[in-house]
Structures are given as structure tokens and as C-alpha cells.
Structure 1
Amino acid sequence: MDKKKLQKFFNTNPFKGFFKKNRLRPPGAVEEPKFMELCIRCARCIEVCPYDSIKRADIFERLQIGTPYIFAEEKGCYLCMKCPSVCPTGALDNNLKEPEKVEMGIAVINQETCLNFKYYLDEEKGVTEEGLLCSFCYDSCPLRDRAIVMEHFILPVITDECVGCGVCTEKCPTTPKSVNIIPKGMEQKELAGFYYRKLRINAQKKSSKIKEEYENKTESEVKKKENISSFGVKPEFKNNFEPMDTIDEWEEQ
């Protein structure tokens, strides 16, 4: 097998697994197969990064060993835009200057574990178990109010302007992370590989199911709350608890 055929095999092998969530190429990276052809592992992008966000892929990253990655759970990209201009081969687009034009991926929020979504659902029921609110993803976003907005002043929502920098993932306080980055290209069937395509399809199905359950549950809880009156009727409690008609301390006063 000659060099070109061997190179083509490694760059198109569907089981190679180019993509993992929260593992991102630096800003300006060309499509993965082309990136693997062009990157000479010179580490210039790693050296120039002032935030120490870019790391070398280690031996566990298979054929990508030595190439630059941003591991968002450890450190996101702060879009300083210093790395694209120092790439000697064009693996990173030297002409990319504006942070808004970066395409590293897209953030996805898990509403089942996000503190704000859990709080919002609890509020609809009239009681909250944890009472925790968070705005780390919103506050830390380099493109705040553009890539991420707060609906109802409480719910973080990712917009189409998200560039996938991963800072929100880095700052997210939950374990596991409630906001994750889907790398650019992971949604493309011809690039992602069999296992990652399957993961993507399952994630979409789960997301649709969660949304449907959320909408149905919220509607029923709102109706239930509207029918509750605080006057003249003792509330029913699930646990063994007897509400008091009077409070002794108040009567003494």
C-alpha cells in the first residue's frame, strides 16, 4: 500500500473515532481529515496560548497522538485568537481573526442535571428540594448574551451563535457536567464514525423525550397549583404531618 492510500485509509476509517464530546480542536482548525494531513505536531499553537488551554493528545488518543486539543472539562478556549496565525501549515486558518467566526463545536445543556432547570421545575411544583441557582455558564461565556442567553432570567439557553469554546463546560459546577460541547464535525455522518453516529442519534432521541416529558409535566403542575387556595382549607401533605390551627407563642403575645 503506497503512502497516499495509507494516508487516505487512516483519515477515512469510520472506527478511528475522531470525535469525543468536550475534546476540541483549536480555533480555525480545518475539517478533521484535512487537519490530520496538515498538522505537523510542531506545538506552536500550544506554546502561544496564554491560558494554557491547548494540550497535546497523549497515547490514549490513538492516531491523534501529539496533535493539539482543547479538553473543555479541564480548560476551555478563551478566544484570544493567537493560535491560528502561528500555524505554519494551514491546519489552523491563518486568516481567522474574529472570535465570532470560530467554529469549534456547539454547547448542549442537560436539563436533567442543570441546577437552574431543576430549580425551575421545582418552582412549578411549589416546592424546591435543593434551592440552588447557578449562572457560571452565562457569566463566563466570552460571547455572553449572544451565544448564551437567560430565558425567564433563570434558564440558560444556547443560541446558534455559540462557537463551542468550552468555557461554560470548564466552569460548570455539577458532576457530571451539565453543559457539554459537541465538536465540529461530530454531527457529520461521513466524518464521525459508526460509534459516534450511534451516540448522536441516541442523544437526539433522549433530548426529544425529555422535552416532551418536561412540557407535559409542567402543564399539569401549573394547573394543580392554580387550584390550590391558602384560605379556609387545610392543605394535604404526603408525609405524616398535622397542620396547626393556632400557634401558642402567638396567642400569649
Structure 2
Amino acid sequence: MSGNRFLRPPGARTEKEFLSRCLQCGQCAQVCIFDCIVMHTGFNPFVAGTPEINPKIAACHLCMRCSAICPSDALHDIPIEQVRMGFAEIDRKKCYQWAEFLLCRSCYERCPIKWVAMELERGEYPVITDKCAGCGLCEHVCPAKAIIVTPTRYVDAGRKNDGGK
């Protein structure tokens, strides 16, 4: 993610607890079969070497292997329906389906938890619910680039927002 906002892997504890537990071992990135987890580079000593996901490059599929292997429990095992890495929003002016430009449900078809995270308004228009995990898969596959995932947490000059799961 750009700037000071990080999309953490699924199962990440609150940012304060996550940062205190994370060993920066990289096992979560190594076990990720979709190569979506990278270790943060940069000069901020609070977050350098910790795992992050950029859905524009590679989105999380919620396989939960990262949380299963984490030796410090910075990423803990939770049901995928409880994951809250971020929140996706659809720009209806850009969305092919909402703009009635062409039939497209790429986001809906690829959502790993669509049974709770998405609805089809009037049976055809995608709507993201408050149960969205924020995995970024919808943003990654959207051909119109109409979806943006906002992370639930941020790190800014050492101040931490404790959002997310």
C-alpha cells in the first residue's frame, strides 16, 4: 500500500499487539502460495520487515496459511468470516455493471466470502456489505479499476491505529 497505510495479512492482531509480537521472520510470506505477502521495506523502524499486502499487485485469497504458520501468534487463526483487513468500496461511476456499460461481476465471482461480504442488488449490481474482509481480491480483478480497498489500520510516525483482525 502506498503512504503509511498497510494491508496486513488475515488474522493480524491490533496493530500495537501485532507489532509487539511479529518476529519479522517472513514465514507468512514464504508459505503464501499466491505470493501476496511481502515484507515491508522502508525506514520506519516500527514497521520495517513486517508483512503487508498490496492488492494491486497480488491479492489475498484468504487461504489462512499465514496465520496457521505464524510462530508468535501475531497472525492468529480466526474464521475467514471474521477477517477485517480493510474495506472495499465500489465507485459506481466506474463500475461496468453499475454504469450498464457491460455485464461484469468479476468482483462478486472472485470474492472468497461472497456469502457474507457481497450482495447483488436487484440480482445484478454488486454491493459490498459491512462483512467485507478487505482481502483486496475484488480490487485486483476489477477490469474497470472501480474498487479500492482501504486498510483498517495505519502507522504514522509511530502512532498506531489499532483496527483490524
CA contact (8 A) 1:105 1:164 kept: yes
Matches within 5 A, 1:1-253: 18-19=4-5, 23-59=6-42, 62-63=44-45, 64-93=47-76, 96-119=77-100, 131-174=101-144, 177-185=145-153, 191-192=160-161
Partner of residue 211, structure 1: none
Deviation at 1:33, TM superposition (A): 2.3
Change in CA separation of 1:62 and 1:115 when aligned onto 2, cut-off 3 Å? farther
Deviation at 1:18, TM superposition (A): 4.2
More helix by share: 1
User: Structure 1 segments of 4 or more deviating over 4 A?
Assistant: none
More strand by share: 2
**Distance of 2:29 and 2:160 partners within structure 1:** 25
Q: Deviations over 1:96-118 (max 9, x none)?
A: 24211212111111122111222
**Distance of 1:145 and 1:28 partners within structure 2:** 19
**Distance of 1:72 and 1:117 partners within structure 2:** 22
Gap regions ≥5 residues in structure 2 = none
**Distance of 1:53 and 1:147 partners within structure 2:** 21
Gap regions ≥5 residues in structure 1 = 1-16, 120-130, 193-253
SS of the aligned residue for 1:180 comes to strand
Q: Deviations over 1:45-92 (max 9, x none)?
A: 011111111111122x74422211111111111111111122122211
Larger Rg: 1
SS of the aligned residue for 1:134 comes to coil
Q: Deviations over 1:135-165 (max 9, x none)?
A: 1100100112321111122211011221111
Moved more, 155-164 or 61-70: 61-70
**Distance of 2:9 and 2:20 partners within structure 1:** 16
Deviation at 1:132, TM superposition (A): 2.2
TM-score (norm 1): 0.56
Identity among equivalent positions (%) equals 38
How many residue pairs get aligned? The number is: 154
**Distance of 1:35 and 1:72 partners within structure 2:** 20
Answer 1 or 2: higher relative contact order, Cα 8 Å, separation at least 6: 2
Change in CA separation of 1:118 and 1:38 when aligned onto 2, cut-off 3 Å? same
CA RMSD of aligned residues (A): 1.9
